[in-house]
Structure 1
């Protein structure tokens, strides 16, 4: 005896049994007929009618045992057909006995060697059933007529069937499975055999066409096929190991031979082969649906008349289980028949199978995403109907993440520089997304990334994120909103292409948009967009300025932000765009990237922050302008207001309060009643030490503000000579230089000479490497600007300058700047000394070096020049002539033309008098610059 499960009932006397599932695909199965019984035969093809009562006989046996575990034994096999005959028991009851007792089969005696062990009992039961006119033995005319059915196999009108049953479950029996998702079903109400497939999913095919081998392999393939034909076959296998005789088994033989005797002949195309996991998928559906009475929900019909829908199984939707087990995948071409809720549930089931990497998804890997897979941000710019830039709160200043809305495609914007025009509906699509998203807090879920090729040849492609974006708690994504309004379409993807989890909702939204003829689907041509661009054309712009001034407040949209206070704006009412700058505030300039010809600049401190602030607050926002004037370059000047109603405010106040700009005193007079609010905003920024006000003390230190102008004689040493009149000095006692150098030595011991990433903006304080002959070491430095070969820095404790690479810089924390710069920047008081590039400039520098280098000098500060440098008089001793007088007497320097204006004390006036005496001596002796007479020029301006 063996055990198995009834997989199918082929007729009233034959069942298909399966064993326990193994680890290598579907379990073994066998067909077993009940011995000594003969039931009416079902018609299984067009033109072959049922024998009378065949359906009722099969239904009796099917309802009794389908899907149940039974005990069976093979008693004999037919010699010619190889059919197996035996007995089957369900819970101890013989199925043959039950069938015979109900009269649904005839009892037959096939001889002594081919008869059932239950034959005697069956004969008696058959006689009793016939006597009682049970089952097939009834003689009632009404029952005789009911026992016949006529199945409609051909000329099936799928459209009519769908119209009759759409949305209403129809009773049916699944009679055959081509694969896990394609069936033949018999509708009970009309006895119509239909082709039916699960809508929205597809299992691997059982009869997928095999690929023909390449010509070079034809001969080898033919030989291998012939050899395989000699030994092909499958031995019988028992369902339950260790059971009695007659286990479930199968025996198949396959033969193959080469096509012709010539090895070079082209073999016939290989027979269709099952796709991977096709047998598993078919078995999965068979054990649940084959010969089961189910309700079908018809949802669609294709051009061939095949119907699509769902099987309403008592335990759930078989589509979900196929997807969860990795035995099917969703397909777009039949998903259109499925409701949105069902599609979302199916997609979730498919994702479960993917994440578990079951069967079809064994080699599947989720899209590789660089960076955050999901985050919250603020939309700062909309580039088109499906692309935008987002800033992440707390991220680096000015850093924006450009992304595209996944799985949709909006009309492309053109490029006037390349002569590319906008696609139809491109402007409307971009404007629709702008109104939906600009300035809004959004949730971004990155679905996948792609490399986007650049327009410039030779540039590496840019990796762009494609994401699902939703605004606030809105259940709909921006993709779905754009598609359902007809402003974008669904991207047609290949089966395995990554996509948004909301793809099915987007497909449904597009169907609704097409049905409603919305947007792009309306059939109407969009209106033409003709923009008058006044940017760069100052003459044309000036023709508009008077009109804009007379209009007063003008509604506009900020199209581009060039800096904290400079924008490109678009006025929809006048259909023109122009440059605009706020007059009452001055913002630091942002850095500007150069091109192949150079032209870059590092930018002012907080210029990048001012640009980012204005982009976040104003980019593509609706604003109000009040134009008051226009400069010579065609830039409109005036005031900009943002917000509406009680929130309406002058944007200059926001800039000032953030400390990202300073008031222009001249423009402040023209602000009228708003002047006080701007002053209050700037005062608030100063009090909070925000933005530019946070670096004011440091900048004052860099200008030597802490060095008091004192006419007392103090001891100094020259530490750097820039030229004969420009130099740096140390306090003779050394000041805090030793402490600073010790702290920087600790830094070198800790990090070596490796630089660190930083943004070397002009005015930035940092550490820079310098080699004084004893190896490179770190020194405090201030960035002066960029050059084609590196960054120009000033070593603030020694006064020398150098050009270093960015890799030779590293940022320092504030503890390193607890000490003021040790090198005091000075100039020779009341003198004009030639620069090194001028005649006698080197003589003057060498003269100062000879007079003062390496010596302890006395110095007296007699004021500051226009650049804040100390105007110094230097002496070797209290009784000696000043070095200033000596250089003038040597004819390598002279008195500044505005010296008298700079003299603010009696000592200063006395110094000027002595310098005049020295200059007169040099003039009379024709020394150096005086050798040809008077060397002064009337138009010189020394300071």
Structure 2
């Protein structure tokens, strides 16, 4: 050794320089992703080491390294009197911290290792993977996780290429309640693994990560949420959309709407119910693919076919960072890798800034009727306009977004009507109630949803009704038997399947597509489809009896009038005296405890105090809001808004509940009089009041099929014409035009009076014909249901 000058017998060795890594960014930029040789000098805790990496024969670099995707229990300093950790105190090990450190020391301390650096956290600590040289079988992360000495670190697990294996190792320890999982109790709200798979048709894309699919087994619409994917939220009501929320929904809609997809439910999550409310159904989180094979992540389906991955690729969604004990999508690790690529490319949400804004001219609001009428002529001249069906209220009534015009409109198929479906309304106790619809109303709505909801359509506006709903034709594309796209007319499809009927006033000669629509309805009629299944034509004698039916005659005093030709006739003086004496016998006082607003329901019969004289009268609750009630005084015809303190219940023993109303609610038959939302409503109302208010009249009444006002013909005592004729001659009413024998008869009788009003060119006739055929159909339904009752 002396002769060879080895070791201490040789020349003085060159000094060896050991550097601490102060500039992490430059060091990482130089060696990130590369394999480095080094020695583990010190074990801080089970997942944090100090490494010594040689850079040359005389230079070494020393730095702290945290294992990627794994976090072991550490050491914590006790708190001092000020509530902060005491730097002078000895660190106290957390549960299983010593076990984890001992396991790492036995495997890695002072051993040669290979290190691959992945990055650094916000505090500058480097994280990466460590493997002992010459022993590829030992994976320190797997070793710690499988023995319950570590948990997954969700914030950087995406950088590891063994994330799936590490999650399986952690699950093994968690299920066995080993180590840190010794006292583990599953969260009752946590997701539950599921293995359900199905193939169904996409009916609606609610948002970028929420999709409604038609279940082929149950024939029900089921809502699925993309597993481990979060898209920006669409705003509710007046709330604005989050940046890129509409873009994400449109991206998914264009790829999936109307197509069959594979759905693999990854996990199901229960939503805890609020106190006193019905629990919500569990939410199903699924992987949804456009492919034809099952989604199992085993190569049968390419990752590019998964809609969640496609959203992440273009930066329109982010990947959810799950807790270690939560279930996740099968392709979760691929999602993370694709998200990193989108971040590096600065796509979509990752660009920074506020993002794109979308401005919509909402013409569906109640106060937009005037703007709709102003735009009606422009839309009629524009020809076919491209749009997207956003919502359906019935099978033939839609809410359409016009793409080029940037407007949202209400649109209804002209001359075609589907039955009304059932509705969910909020009851007085806050519980949703279902109100029944017309026969085949729900079936027609479901058929239209499957066929038209969120589809690209071309609409042609041909008119507008009184409430601002545009009328016309709508066409869309269906997939033909050979896979080709076929353009179809929405009205024709509904008629052919028996889910709609043509209006009674429909004339094929006035419509370019009239013959085809009539033929489609005739096809459904002959095949007994849908609405025609149990239809029987009326017999000749029944029609004759109905046409010759005589009206009921009554006399009384007109005590109130309203908009839309409403007249209230007080017919029973004796009944009115009985009501008055019964109310006086109740001895009502102001100091009585008033009814709570929640305990008063619409259509309830109550006692209400009239504000003008402070007296109590019988009333029916017509409407309510958060603080007030709108009541109708059934013996006098007038209405007003009152507070709940002015309402009392009718005692069960009182005869007030059994005495019929002393006032009849009537509407002028066979004519349209401007209602409260129409032009010239004030002029018509004032003329009606000046002509007949508080005057004796003789009334002919016909039975009404609905719960609303009774159609009537009113003649004042001693007058030479009816009230209807008077308004027609003034130009403040017009005849209803429908293709029925009864309407033709009325037109023959009252047509000359309407001609007098038309010749004045005043009010309704100021700009020519004021009507559209669809308005007459709506007017008949409106009169039958008693809508928009208002006093003057």
| Residues 468, 478 of structure 1: 8 Å contact kept | no
Correspondent of 2:381 among 545, 550, 574:
550
Distance in 2 of aligned mates of 1:547 and 1:708: 47
Distance in 2 of aligned mates of 1:146 and 1:390: 80
For the structure 1 residues 471 and 157, does the alpha-carbon distance in structure 2 shift closer, same or farther, using more than 3 Å as the test?
same
For the structure 1 residues 210 and 539, does the alpha-carbon distance in structure 2 shift closer, same or farther, using more than 3 Å as the test?
same
For 1:654, what is the secondary structure of its paired residue? Answer: helix
Correspondent of 1:610 among 441, 444, 460:
444
For residues 621-636 of structure 1, what are the structure 2 equivalents within 5 Å?
Answer: 621-636=455-470
Correspondent of 1:301 among 95, 120, 135:
120
Structure 2 equivalent of residue 393 of structure 1:
216
User: What is the CA distance between 1:394 and its match in structure 2?
Assistant: 3.1
For the structure 1 residues 305 and 525, does the alpha-carbon distance in structure 2 shift closer, same or farther, using more than 3 Å as the test?
closer
| Residues 229, 317 of structure 2: 8 Å contact kept | no
User: What is the CA distance between 1:368 and its match in structure 2?
Assistant: 5.2
| Residues 151, 193 of structure 1: 8 Å contact kept | no
Which string of whole-angstrom CA distances, capped at 9 and with x for unpartnered residues, describes residues 860-919 of structure 1? xxxxx999xxxxxxxxxxxxxxxxxxxxxxxxxxxxxxxxx9xxxxxxxxxxxxxxxxxx
Structure 1 equivalent of residue 360 of structure 2:
531
User: What is the CA distance between 1:202 and its match in structure 2?
Assistant: 1.2
Correspondent of 2:66 among 179, 197, 222:
197
| Residues 406, 447 of structure 1: 8 Å contact kept | no
| Residues 193, 267 of structure 2: 8 Å contact kept | no
For the structure 1 residues 409 and 642, does the alpha-carbon distance in structure 2 shift closer, same or farther, using more than 3 Å as the test?
closer
Structure 2 equivalent of residue 182 of structure 1:
48
**Does the alignment pair 1:647 with 2:486?**
yes
Distance in 1 of aligned mates of 2:399 and 2:325: 43
User: What is the CA distance between 1:564 and its match in structure 2?
Assistant: 0.9
| Residues 587, 661 of structure 1: 8 Å contact kept | yes
Which string of whole-angstrom CA distances, capped at 9 and with x for unpartnered residues, describes residues 645-678 of structure 1? 7421122343344432334465461586755655
For the structure 1 residues 306 and 151, does the alpha-carbon distance in structure 2 shift closer, same or farther, using more than 3 Å as the test?
farther
Structure 2 equivalent of residue 856 of structure 1:
none
| Residues 80, 86 of structure 2: 8 Å contact kept | no
For 1:410, what is the secondary structure of its paired residue? Answer: coil
Structure 2 equivalent of residue 521 of structure 1:
350
**Does the alignment pair 1:415 with 2:237?**
yes
| Residues 411, 488 of structure 1: 8 Å contact kept | no
User: What is the CA distance between 1:312 and its match in structure 2?
Assistant: 3.3
For 1:610, what is the secondary structure of its paired residue? Answer: helix
5+ residue gaps, structure 2, are 292-301, 479-483, 544-601, 605-658, 663-702, 706-740, 742-792
For residues 164-243 of structure 1, what are the structure 2 equivalents within 5 Å?
Answer: 164-190=30-56, 191-205=60-74, 207-209=75-77
User: What is the CA distance between 1:468 and its match in structure 2?
Assistant: 4.0
For the structure 1 residues 295 and 521, does the alpha-carbon distance in structure 2 shift closer, same or farther, using more than 3 Å as the test?
closer
Structure 2 equivalent of residue 485 of structure 1:
314
For 2:73, what is the secondary structure of its paired residue? Answer: coil
Which string of whole-angstrom CA distances, capped at 9 and with x for unpartnered residues, describes residues 209-247 of structure 1? 4678999xxxxxxxxxxxxxxxxxxxxxxxxxxxxxxxx
User: What is the CA distance between 1:304 and its match in structure 2?
Assistant: 5.8
**Does the alignment pair 1:637 with 2:471?**
yes
Structure 2 equivalent of residue 574 of structure 1:
405
Distance in 2 of aligned mates of 1:599 and 1:540: 34
For the structure 1 residues 315 and 676, does the alpha-carbon distance in structure 2 shift closer, same or farther, using more than 3 Å as the test?
farther
Distance in 1 of aligned mates of 2:249 and 2:394: 24
For the structure 1 residues 688 and 444, does the alpha-carbon distance in structure 2 shift closer, same or farther, using more than 3 Å as the test?
farther
Using the size of structure 2 for normalisation, the TM-score is 0.56
Larger radius of gyration between Structure 1 and Structure 2: 1
Distance in 2 of aligned mates of 1:603 and 1:195: 70
Structure 2 equivalent of residue 139 of structure 1:
5
Structure 1 equivalent of residue 107 of structure 2:
288
Using the size of structure 1 for normalisation, the TM-score is 0.47
Distance in 2 of aligned mates of 1:520 and 1:267: 43
Which string of whole-angstrom CA distances, capped at 9 and with x for unpartnered residues, describes residues 667-714 of structure 1? 4615867556556655665676553344x17x89xx9x9x999xxxxx
For residues 623-702 of structure 1, what are the structure 2 equivalents within 5 Å?
Answer: 623-643=457-477, 646-664=485-503, 666-667=505-506, 669=508, 674=513, 678=517, 682=521, 685=524, 690-694=529-533, 696=534
For 1:594, what is the secondary structure of its paired residue? Answer: strand
**Does the alignment pair 1:323 with 2:152?**
no
| Residues 301, 308 of structure 1: 8 Å contact kept | yes
Distance in 1 of aligned mates of 2:269 and 2:4: 72
For the structure 1 residues 550 and 357, does the alpha-carbon distance in structure 2 shift closer, same or farther, using more than 3 Å as the test?
farther
For the structure 1 residues 461 and 482, does the alpha-carbon distance in structure 2 shift closer, same or farther, using more than 3 Å as the test?
farther
Which string of whole-angstrom CA distances, capped at 9 and with x for unpartnered residues, describes residues 196-217 of structure 1? 2211221222x244678999xx
For the structure 1 residues 202 and 689, does the alpha-carbon distance in structure 2 shift closer, same or farther, using more than 3 Å as the test?
farther
5+ residue gaps, structure 1, are 1-132, 216-265, 710-786, 790-835, 840-864, 868-900, 902-943
For 2:116, what is the secondary structure of its paired residue? Answer: strand
Structure 1 equivalent of residue 435 of structure 2:
601
Distance in 2 of aligned mates of 1:573 and 1:480: 30
| Residues 119, 126 of structure 2: 8 Å contact kept | yes
Structure 2 equivalent of residue 782 of structure 1:
none
For residues 850-861 of structure 1, what are the structure 2 equivalents within 5 Å?
Answer: none
For residues 839-850 of structure 1, what are the structure 2 equivalents within 5 Å?
Answer: none
For 2:423, what is the secondary structure of its paired residue? Answer: coil
User: What is the CA distance between 1:369 and its match in structure 2?
Assistant: 5.6
Distance in 1 of aligned mates of 2:205 and 2:417: 27
Distance in 2 of aligned mates of 1:551 and 1:602: 39
For the structure 1 residues 655 and 353, does the alpha-carbon distance in structure 2 shift closer, same or farther, using more than 3 Å as the test?
farther
Distance in 2 of aligned mates of 1:685 and 1:355: 61
**Does the alignment pair 1:475 with 2:303?**
yes
Distance in 2 of aligned mates of 1:642 and 1:672: 19
For the structure 1 residues 405 and 668, does the alpha-carbon distance in structure 2 shift closer, same or farther, using more than 3 Å as the test?
farther
For the structure 1 residues 155 and 565, does the alpha-carbon distance in structure 2 shift closer, same or farther, using more than 3 Å as the test?
closer
**Does the alignment pair 1:619 with 2:448?**
no
Which string of whole-angstrom CA distances, capped at 9 and with x for unpartnered residues, describes residues 913-935 of structure 1? xxxxxxxxxxxxxxxxxxxxxxx
User: What is the CA distance between 1:568 and its match in structure 2?
Assistant: 0.9
Equivalent residue pairs, number? 522
| Residues 409, 491 of structure 1: 8 Å contact kept | no
